């Protein structure tokens, strides 16, 4: 589909947490029609009809994945259902936007990515933080070399709830930070070490710590928890020229750049290094804020129309799941570093 005059006809599977937001976004876009909504709950389907008058509803997902009157499918269902739904839609020639993670295993993600390529379909994964204005601003400046060579990144993602029973805090929350690390650095980690603690439910960690090792001697760390008194979404980036902090909870000044660092001066008379601290100005750039999900959904439609590869494509989704698989292996082995399978 390349003509901007031809409506993109969308079907949404899942009207729970994220489905209504997707329906809202797509229903307000020019040249986009939400044709049908699917959910297993009759109550939710009634809510969908109330939310968007005239939309058809069904409890049968095949009425979306196999429907001739639908061009693009949104999968906003539990992770365990992603693989089968995405596969059915791709094989039927649909473009797909799937909530993260793309699937439960790396093997499933790889199969779906290959299937999308085989059929020439757009397969996009809902790593919504990659469409956050602050993250996009950091990416632009990192690519321009504003911070110099990156030494390390440190992310904190904590809150009191929501507590999940199917996956732990690492799988639920750290996937956001992994996608951000990979996006900002433009590469994938080589290995990962993960530790955590189960407090509320046995085998489901409520707090987790990940250390990821990237090419170029770059290390990234992520602290995740849903058992914390404060909601925190922060990222610190330390480079050899400047440092940066992103605070997603600060809508007015989400990014600060620090002209700070440490320089090693060599004194030949003593044969020793002296560490000199550099403490310069703090710069607060102007960041134009917008809703990340709206931006993500808009890119999906643009990709459907132009056939361009979206930022959060299937390969990025695969890369995140491969890291999570290795992290779970490390967690079982009390933090022993685990190699990450290559893309």
List average pLDDT for each run of 10 residues in the chain, which is 343 residues long: 78 97 97 98 97 96 98 96 98 98 97 98 98 98 97 98 91 96 98 97 95 98 97 97 97 95 65 73 95 98 98 98 97 97 95
Block residue for tokens 């295993």? 105
Q: Does the predicted model carry a pTM greater than 0.75?
A: yes
Architecture in CATH for domain 8-126+293-309: 3-Layer(aba) Sandwich (3.40)
Block residue for tokens 């199969």? 111
The structure tokens listed for 114 are: 């290959």
Domain range summary for the chain, segments of one domain joined by +: 8-126+293-309, 130-291+322-339
pLDDT at residue 5 in the model: 72
Count the neighbouring beta carbons within 10 Å of the beta carbon of residue 66. 15
Length of the chain: 343
The structure tokens listed for 199 are: 């407090």
Fold of 130-291+322-339: Dihydrodipicolinate Reductase; domain 2 (3.30.360)
User: Which residue from 178, 40, 23 is spatially nearest to 97, judged by alpha carbons?
Assistant: 23
Block residue for tokens 């602290």? 223
Beta strands in 119-164 (DSSP E): 123-126, 150-160
Contacts of 199 by beta carbon, 8 Å cutoff, 6+ apart: 206, 207, 227
pLDDT at residue 278 in the model: 77
The alpha carbon dihedral of 292, 293, 295, 300 has a sign of: positive
């Amino acid at each position: 589909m390349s003509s901007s005059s031809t409506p993109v006809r969308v079907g949404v599977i899942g009207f729970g947490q994220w489905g209504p937001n997707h329906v809202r976004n797509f229903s307000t876009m020019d040249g986009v029609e939400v044709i049908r909504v699917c959910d297993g709950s009759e109550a939710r389907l009634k809510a969908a009809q109330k939310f968007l008058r005239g939309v058809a509803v069904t409890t049968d997902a095949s009425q979306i994945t196999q429907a001739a009157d639908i061009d693009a499918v949104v999968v906003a269902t539990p992770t365990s259902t992603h693989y089968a739904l995405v596969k059915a839609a791709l094989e039927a020639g649909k473009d797909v936007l799937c909530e993260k993670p793309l699937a439960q295993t790396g093997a499933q993600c790889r199969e779906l990515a290959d299937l999308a390529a085989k059929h020439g379909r757009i397969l996009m994964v809902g790593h919504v933080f990659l469409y956050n204005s602050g993250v996009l601003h950091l990416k632009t400046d990192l690519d321009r070399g504003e911070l110099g060579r990156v030494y390390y990144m440190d992310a904190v993602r904590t809150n009191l709830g929501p507590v999940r029973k199917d996956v732990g805090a690492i799988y639920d929350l750290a996937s956001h930070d992994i996608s951000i690390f990979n996006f900002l650095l433009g590469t994938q980690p080589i290995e990962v070490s993960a530790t955590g603690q189960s407090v509320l439910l046995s085998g489901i960690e409520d707090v987790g710590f990940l250390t990821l090792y990237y090419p170029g001697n770059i290390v990234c760390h992520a602290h995740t928890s849903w058992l914390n008194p404060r909601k925190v979404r922060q990222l610190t980036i330390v480079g050899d020229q400047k440092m940066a902090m992103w605070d997603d909870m600060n809508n007015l000044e989400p990014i600060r750049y620090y002209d700070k660092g440490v320089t090693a001066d060599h004194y030949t008379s003593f044969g020793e290094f002296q560490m000199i601290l550099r403490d310069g100005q703090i710069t607060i750039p102007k960041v134009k804020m917008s809703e990340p999900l709206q931006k993500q959904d808009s890119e999906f439609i643009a990709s459907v129309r132009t056939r361009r590869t979206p930022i959060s494509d299937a390969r990025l989704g695969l890369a995140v799941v491969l890291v999570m698989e290795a992290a779970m292996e490390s967690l079982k082995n009390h933090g022993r570093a685990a190699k990450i399978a290559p893309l």
